[in-house]
Structure 1
Amino acid sequence: MQLLCQLDTSDFSGWKRDFDSERTERMEAGLTLLQMWRDSDTRSRVLMLFEVGDVARAKVWLRKEQGFGGPMTAHFLETV
């Protein structure tokens, strides 16, 4: 299962620095970052694709992260 998150942040540099420093917390939540993109037209928009090892722990991580750095949407995805 994967998790796709979209975040709009007014301070990409600061957000990215904080995101990188929380790698251990994401790993403990069962999340592995597969890819990160920055929207070429809207530079404040970031999209992240994670591999999910534990959905319950990932949901706890999402609740903690909501609002951190800016508005975020998240979708759990299954390959079909």
Structure 2
Amino acid sequence: MNQLLLRYDSFDSDHFEGDAENRANAGLSVLQRWEAAEGSAVWILLSVNDTEKANGWLSQDKALGHGPSEAHFLRTA
């Protein structure tokens, strides 16, 4: 299983929730979301069905100014 771990230093929850259809079309689904105990950082773990589409979603989100501070593709070991 491939996964994508995102870290947002500044997180816009309304935008993220409103982008659910675009994420789904990119083969992404939210597995878990964490918020930092201190500060405003947010981490989101997504399931990835298509890495190429996921990269396209990431590029578009960054171009629109809503992208994560960091993004890491992971696979179950």
Aligned twin of 2:66: 68
Q: By how many angstroms is 1:2 displaced?
A: 0.3
Aligned twin of 1:47: 43
> Separation in 1 of the partners of 2:69 and 2:50?
20
3-state SS of paired residue (2:4): strand
Aligned CA RMSD, in angstroms, stands at: 1.3
Provide the TM-score with structure 1 as the length reference: 0.85
Unaligned segments of structure 1, at least 5 residues: none
1:8-23 to 2 correspondences below 5 Å:
8-9=9-10, 12=11, 15-23=12-20
How many residues get paired?
74
Unaligned segments of structure 2, at least 5 residues: none
Q: By how many angstroms is 1:35 displaced?
A: 0.5
3-state SS of paired residue (1:27): helix
